[in-house]
Amino acid sequence: MFDFSIVSSWIHNLLTGVMPEFWAIFLECLAIGIGILLFYAVLAIILIYMERKVCGFFQCRIGPDRVGKFGIFQLFADVIKMLIKEIISLKNSDKFLYALAPFIVIIASILAFSTIQINKGMEIIDFNVGIVFYMAATSLGVLGILLAGWSSNSKFTMISAMRSGAQIISYELSVGLSLLTVVVFTGTLQFSEIIQSQADGWLIFKGHIPVWIAFIIYLIAGNAETNRGPFDLPEAESELTAGYHTEYSGMHFGFFYLSEYLNLFIVAAIAATVFLGGWMPLHISGLDGFNAIMDYIPGFIWFFGKAFFVVFLLMWIRWTFPRLRIDQLLKLEWKILVPIGLFNLALMILVVVFKLHF
């Protein structure tokens, strides 16, 4: 299997050969930063294009097709349009918090983004408390949304921010419970070890019924956490203009748009990592020849295949179901998902402690 840590250690040795260690690490960090930015931008472009095409497909339309072949330059035109719009500052807003909100949203998104494992040895942050760090980073994002809505001093953004706050913090509970269920099974909080433990079969195959329930809960709650799909009432355009970013213009608005799509990818990538094995190829214990053939396919192809499969699932959900009301939304979380999540956790503990799994 292709291991990226060979490449990174080769680069490290090459650099330390010609310069002191400090500058070598500095240059590597610079390269990592540029890598994050490039990857972030490219993924955003792919995801937005995919969303438009998938949405068109579900509504029996073609989607963007005028700018360039198959409309692939539509996104670049959008980016340029966003950059050449004037950034407006409001008269009666809280100026400091108004400017701070996009920073928090992007920081939360990039921190969560850097926990993703793309290939064997190709990760940026791999803490031994990775899952807790991931949850901490994603829950920072709601702060930015609340600040954006509150500081613009407009009634619609205020309503939207409050709805969004209630929604995101509520569904975070379900995300936590479903990830906790997986942690009980794998016995580690580190993403690389969770992937390593799926070498003899992805968790969705060997994890029994509790993991299936956790996967479904995670998909629902993850969808709600990104303010998408049937849970998009913070930016219900027919009621609240554009939600918490109504008063933002140009690139300021662009940050919220960017982070929304990247959060979609992050949720999908974590689902792929935790439940579907991340970069781990499909292994069936007993069939050694089959496993050897699967190992020839590089890990990042497996990872992106799984992640984009989950992204497609989430888009499918988004364009299929009608929007929920706020009382239905909170009822779904607190009266259905949380009790099921707690019950599921208890079930998982029984399975693990009494060794009922294979």
Number of residues that bind other proteins (CB under 8 A): 81
> Which among 334, 329, 346, 198 is positioned nearest to 275, based on CA atoms?
198
Within 22-61, the residues that bind other proteins by CB under 8 A are 25, 29, 32-33, 36-37, 40
Within 13 Å and on the Cβ side, how many CA atoms surround 229?
A: 21
Question: What DSSP line would sit under 309-358, residue for residue?
Answer: HHHHHHHHHHTTSPPPPHHHHHHIIIIIIHHHHHHHHHHHHHHHHTT---
Q: Say whether residue 109 binds other proteins (CB under 8 A).
A: yes
Tokens 């208890």 sit on residue: 346
Q: Say whether residue 131 binds other proteins (CB under 8 A).
A: yes
Out of 11, 52, 153, 216, name the contact with other proteins by CB under 8 A.
Answer: 153
CA distance 233 to 173: 19
> Which among 112, 153, 329 is positioned nearest to 228, based on CA atoms?
329
Look at residue 118 and give its three-state secondary structure.
Answer: strand
CA distance 263 to 225: 9
| 63 vs 176, beta carbon nearer other proteins | 176
Out of 184, 204, 282, 297, name the contact with other proteins by CB under 8 A.
Answer: 184
* CA angle, residues 310, 311, 316, in degrees to nearest 5: 95
140 contact partners, CB below 8 Å, separation of at least 6: 104, 107, 108, 111
Phi–psi pair at 167, nearest 5 degrees? -70, -50
Interface characters, 263-302, with other proteins (x: CB under 8 A): ----------------------------------------
Q: How far is the CB of 295 from other proteins (least distance, A)?
A: 28
| 67 vs 326, beta carbon nearer other proteins | 326
Span interacting with other proteins, options 200-208, 280-288, 307-315, 329-337, rule CB under 8 A: 329-337
Q: Say whether residue 255 binds other proteins (CB under 8 A).
A: yes
* CA angle, residues 136, 347, 280, in degrees to nearest 5: 60
| 174 vs 281, beta carbon nearer other proteins | 174
| 3 vs 21, beta carbon nearer other proteins | 21
Q: Say whether residue 85 binds other proteins (CB under 8 A).
A: yes
| 159 vs 314, beta carbon nearer other proteins | 159
- Is the CB of residue 228 less than 8 Å from the CB of residue 318? yes
Out of 48, 118, 147, 177, name the contact with other proteins by CB under 8 A.
Answer: 177
Q: Say whether residue 207 binds other proteins (CB under 8 A).
A: no
Within 111-130, the residues that bind other proteins by CB under 8 A are 111, 113-114, 124-127
Q: Say whether residue 84 binds other proteins (CB under 8 A).
A: yes
| 45 vs 54, beta carbon nearer other proteins | 45
> Residue 71: left if φ>0, alpha if ψ -120 to 50, beta else—which one?
left
Q: How far is the CB of 260 from other proteins (least distance, A)?
A: 15
CA distance 59 to 47: 18
> Which among 15, 344, 23 is positioned nearest to 184, based on CA atoms?
344
Q: Say whether residue 147 binds other proteins (CB under 8 A).
A: no
Q: How far is the CB of 209 from other proteins (least distance, A)?
A: 18
Out of 16, 155, 200, 292, name the contact with other proteins by CB under 8 A.
Answer: 155
Q: Say whether residue 251 binds other proteins (CB under 8 A).
A: yes
Longest CA span, the chain: 69
Per-residue H/E/C for 299-321: HHHHHHHHHHHHHHHHHHHHCCC
- Is the CB of residue 170 less than 8 Å from the CB of residue 336? no
Q: Say whether residue 180 binds other proteins (CB under 8 A).
A: yes
| 67 vs 352, beta carbon nearer other proteins | 352
Span interacting with other proteins, options 1-9, 64-72, 159-167, 206-214, rule CB under 8 A: 159-167
Q: Say whether residue 140 binds other proteins (CB under 8 A).
A: no
